[in-house]
Amino acid sequence: MASSYSPRKKPSMKRRSLHEEIAEHLRSMIIEGELPEGERIDESALCELLEISRTPLREALKVLHSEGLVTIEPNRGARVSTLTEEEFAELFELISGLERTAAELAAQRATDSDLKKLAQMQSRMEKYFSSGDRHNYFQLNQDIHRLIVAMSGNETLRTLHEQLLMRASRGRYMAIGTEHRWEESVQEHQDLLDALRAHDSAKAGAILLEHVRHTGDSAVDALKVGKAG
């Protein structure tokens, strides 16, 4: 049977273990909709596509299961997880609160080196936006949110945020599906950077809270449109 998956470049297997590289590859396929929500994962097709055996693939699926992106059903294989509109809304509601706290703390604790790195990432992200490169824009956007949380200096917050960020990743990607929201998001990031540079905790927290809420609203709207279609 011919594979239903579109060909992608085989991931590089140099720096990390094989199953970690495979997990990253499948994660992108899920986030960008190449593996749709609710779809059964065809292990044979993926093994053929990536030129791998089932053992590292199944290890990768366990990683994605722990992140909430895949559901493994006993004796029935794995499926791409599905989130309802209500679950999406609750998830982004929680993330917005965490990131608000992170931004408030980051405004107090960020070093000059942290802010310089964030500014460089912002510049790169704007270039991806200008060129319409959603894939690299999204990956960098995720890293920017991670950096801001890391700048808070709160390890417990960082660990919890990472777990939720992965579950919300598909929604975050869907949220930049419209040009208006994408452009709006870039500006919100710049406003946040300015507030962090000014060490204005209240303003930084408020900006990031609203930014994540806007993203959540856009994700829910995109999910509704997808179901209607």
Specify the pLDDT at position 223. Answer: 78
- Residue ranges per domain, the chain? 18-80, 85-228
Helices and strands: H and E segment counts in the chain: 9, 2
Question: 73 - beta bridge partners?
Answer: 77
Say how far apart CA 19 and CA 75 lie, in whole Å. 21
Which residue, 143, 189, 181, 186, is CA-closest to 165?
143
Query: pLDDT for 109-142, tens place per residue?
Result: 999 999 999 999 999 999 999 999 999 999 999 9
- For 9-69, give the DSSP string: PPPP-SSS-HHHHHHHHHHHHHHTTSS-TTPBP-HHHHHHHHT--HHHHHHHHHHHHHTTS
Query: pLDDT for 154-210, tens place per residue?
Result: 999 999 999 899 889 988 898 887 778 899 999 999 999 999 999 999 999 999 999
Domain 18-80 classified CATH 3.40.640.10?
Answer: no
**CATH assignment, 85-228:** 1.20.120.530
Which residue, 63, 159, 144, is CA-closest to 106?
144
pLDDT band at 5 (very low <50, low <70, confident <90, very high): low
Say how far apart CA 203 and CA 104 lie, in whole Å. 8
Same fold, 18-80 and 85-228: no
Say how far apart CA 214 and CA 189 lie, in whole Å. 12
